[in-house]
Amino acid sequence: MEEGKLSKKDIKIVIAAHKPYRMPEDTMYVPLHVGAEGKKNPDGTPLDLGYQKDNEGDNISAKNPNYCELTGIYYAWKNIPAEYLGLVHYRRYFKGKNKSKDPFACIVTEPEMEKIFETHRIVVPKKRKYYIETLYSHYAHTHYAEHLDCVREIIGEQCPDYLNSYDKVIKQTSGYMFNMMVMERALFDSYCAWLFAILFELEKRVGEKQPEMSAFQSRFYGRVSEIIFNVWLDYQIQSGQISQKDVKELPFIYMEKINWFRKGISFLKAKVFHKKYDSSF
């Protein structure tokens, strides 16, 4: 290694996908078929998207209808031996410095991510702001508040030191969402062990006690994790495990247009009339 030159970092970011889609060519990215368990072609043969499948090795692929992209995070945790690990979505990525009309040319690259990790330990997306809603009230209006209430009970039993962070985070009007992150291996391992212990217990307590839910609403484990990632991160900072300077926020980029009008109408219906969301946007 040349003097003054840092060694190449081993960074792998899985791309959660459930259908064929254009993928970045950068080898840092690992396209991952999430929810691959049981998926078949019309002729009965196993569905093969040409991506790594999340139902190999130690996995929870069968939980994908409820856990969403978390089956990808679990797969990465248990099966990818990289120094830095993370997750993005096939339609949503961290944005790099390149400016182009082609959104795929704007995705953060491996050299850019290596540079970031010279001075940071965690990469997160820019905070999503709800302005007139707290994280708790927004969840309560659009989904089912008892999920978060039960999570608080579980945290109180499994890791009570996190309760102050939980109570602080749910009162905030913004947070790091989408289950997108890239972290040092030790931090990724710590987060996953903490997260899945809580979610597996949540599944035992409320999984079979829910009112009749739509397929969309039944994906609540993935949504709960979006909120409590902020709890985990806040506790790491407050307890001195990491510093705020270790956290790098990056803008994110959508590969497709968002129907902001429909999204806004649904948000207002949830806020004013308590109408639960019934689809993504």
Distance, in Å, from the CA atom of 277 to the CA atom of 141, rounded to the nearest integer, reads: 9
pLDDT digits (tens, 9 = 90+) for 72-105: 999 999 999 999 999 999 999 999 999 999 999 9
Question: Torsions phi, psi of 248, nearest 5?
Answer: -110, 120
Over residues 250-263, the pLDDT tens digits come to 999 999 876 544 54
Tokens of 272: 């004013």
Q: Is residue 182 within 8 Å of 175, Cβ to Cβ?
A: no
Query: Cα 142–148–152 angle (5° rounding)?
Result: 165
Beta bridge partners of 94: 252
What would the 3-class secondary structure string for 227-239 be? HHHHHHHHHHHHC
Check residue 200 and give its pLDDT: 98
Query: Which residue in 273, 251, 268, 201 sits closest to 99, CA to CA?
Result: 251
pLDDT at 218: 79
pTM for the model? 0.89
| Regions of the chain short of the pLDDT cut 70 | 1-7, 207-213, 216, 258-281
**Alpha-carbon gap, residue 168 to 98, rounded angstroms:** 36
